[in-house]
Structure 1
Amino acid sequence: MTSKRIEMAEWYRRAQEEILDSMDEELEMELDDDRLSPDGDSKSQIPRNLYFKELFRLQGELVKLQDWVVANKVKVAVLFEGRDSAGKGGAIKRITQRLNPRVCKVVALPAPNEREKTQWYFQRYISHLPAGGEIALFDRSWYNRAGVEKVMGFCTKKEYDEFLHTVPDLERMMIRSGIILIKYWFSISDDEQYNRFMMRIHDPLKQWKLSPMDLEARRLWEAYTKAKETMLEKTHIPEAPWWVVAANDKKKARLNCISHLLSQIPYQEIDHPEIKLPARVHNPDYLRGPVPPEMYVPEIF
C-alpha cells in the first residue's frame, strides 16, 4: 500500500472516530435522561436505534436549513412554551446540537430587573429578535405574561388584558417585517409532570432545575391550565398559529417538533464550492518551544 493510501486510510479511520464521538454526545444526554429510571431506559414508544437514526437525519436537515437561512438572510424566530419539565429545553438542545451558535441562538431571559420592569413589556424581548441570517430559539418568551405572571400575580389585570390585546398585532408586525415566527406549546399530562418532578427531586444532578417557583406552579396546575387555554384562544392567529407538541414521550416530542419545524420553512439545499485544504507553510527556522510538564493537566484517565 502506498504512503498516500495509508494516509487516506488513517484519515478515514479518524473521521469515523470523530463521527462516533459526536454520536456519543447524544447518547450521553439520553443516558442522563434515563439515569433514574428503574430499568435504566426511558418508556418511549420509539426504539432507541430508530430514535437515533431519525434524530441524526433530522439534524442533517437542520444544517441544510441553517445554510439556507444564512445564504438568503432569512429571519427565523421559534417560541418554546409549556409547563415546567415539559421538555422544551431537551428539544432546543437537539435542534442546536449540530448548528453554528453564531447563527442559531437560544434566548432564555431571566426575570426582569428593576429597570426592565419600568420598560414597555415587550422591549427586552424585541432586542433578541433575529437579524437576517439568524435563527432565534426562545426558551420561554413574551408569553410569560400570559402564564407565570398571570397565575403568580406578577402583573395587574390591566397589564394582562393589554398583553392579550396587543400581542396578536405585534406578531403580525414581526411577520410583515420578514420574520418567520413559529410558536410551540409542549403539552404534558398532570401525571407525567408529577413523575418528572419526582425524578428531579431524587436526582442530585438535576435538583437545581426545581425552583420554589416550579413547585408553586405544580400546586397551581389548574390555574395554569386555565391561563394556557385563554392564551391559546386569544393569540392563536392565522399569521402565527400555535402548534401543540404532545410531549409525554420525550423522544417522540423531539422528533415530531423538529420534523414539523423543518416543514414550516421552505428551505432548499445550498450548493457549496468544493473545500480544499491549503498546504501549510513550513518555515525552516521555526522551532516549537517546550511546554513545562507542570503546565499540563494531570492525565487521570
Structure 2
Amino acid sequence: MATCNFLPNALCSFPAISDASIREARKVIDEGFKSLVREYTGFIDTIVQPLQWFLNFLERLFTNSPWIIVLAVILTIVYLGSRSIRITIGTALGMSFIGFIGLWNDAMITLAITTVATLISIIVGIPIGILMARSDRAQASVNPVLDVMQTLPSFVYLIPVVMIFGIGKVPGLIAVVIYAVPPMIRLTNLGIRLVDKEVLEAADAFGSSPSQKLKNVQMPLALPTIMAGINQTIMMSLAMVVVASMVGVGGLGRNTLQAINNQFFTFGIMNGFALVAIAIIFDRTSQAFGKRLQKHSEVVHG
C-alpha cells in the first residue's frame, strides 16, 4: 500500500509473535492435553460407560421392535402431547414416508440419539437454569460459557471431544449435548425470572420456603417457557446429528455425510427430508404441548 511508504514498518504490519514461538506453545499445550487424557482414560471410560449402555439399549429397542409397535407408540405420544388429530395424522404420514423409502432403521437410530441427547440436556440444563435464576452472580458466570458454546463452530469442539473420548457414539452424543443444552439453560432461567413478582409476594405472604416457592409457583408458571427450551434443544440436536456423524454417530446423519462425500444427490435429499420430517413432528408436538400448558397456567393462576 502506498500509505505504508511514509510510515514506520511497525505501524504497517501488526507485530505478531514469531511462528517458532507459536509452534512451541501449541506443542506444549497439545502434549500436555494428550498426557492428561492418557492418565485419566480409565476414569473417563468408567464415567461414560452407563451412557454407552443406555444409548445402545435404546437403539436396539427402537430398531429391533416391530415397526408397527414403534409407530403406534410414537403416534400415541404425539396425540397425548398435542391433542391434535391433524398433527397425529401428519406424524403417521411422515413416519410412513420414512419407512417407504427404506430409512426406517436409520431414522430409529437418529431418534434414539436425539432422545438421549434431549434427556441429558434437560437433566443438566434445568438445574443450571434454576441456579442462574436464583443468583445473579451465577448468571454472570454461566452466560459467557453459554455464549462460547453457541458461537464456537461445532467442528472445533469436536476436536477435544474426540481426543478425550475417541471415535464412537458417545463422543458424538456429547458433542450434540454441548451444542443443544444452551437454550435449555437460558430458557429455564428466563422462564423463572419472568414469573410475576406479585405472585411471588403472595407465596411469601403464605409463608412458603424458597424450595416450596420454586416447586409450587415458579416452575409451574415457567413451564411453557421451559417447554420452548426443550423444543429448541430437540431442534438443535437434530441439526447437530449430521456433524456428529463425522465421529461415529450413525443414522440419518451418517447417510447424509456419505451422500455429501460421494455426491449422491437423491440419497442426500431423501435423508434430508427424513430429518426434516422428524424435526417437524417434534416441533409441532412440543409447541402444541407448550401452548396447552400455557392455557392451563393462565386458567389456574389467572
TM normalised by structure 1 equals: 0.28
TM normalised by structure 2 equals: 0.28
Write 1 or 2 for the structure with the bigger share of strand: 1
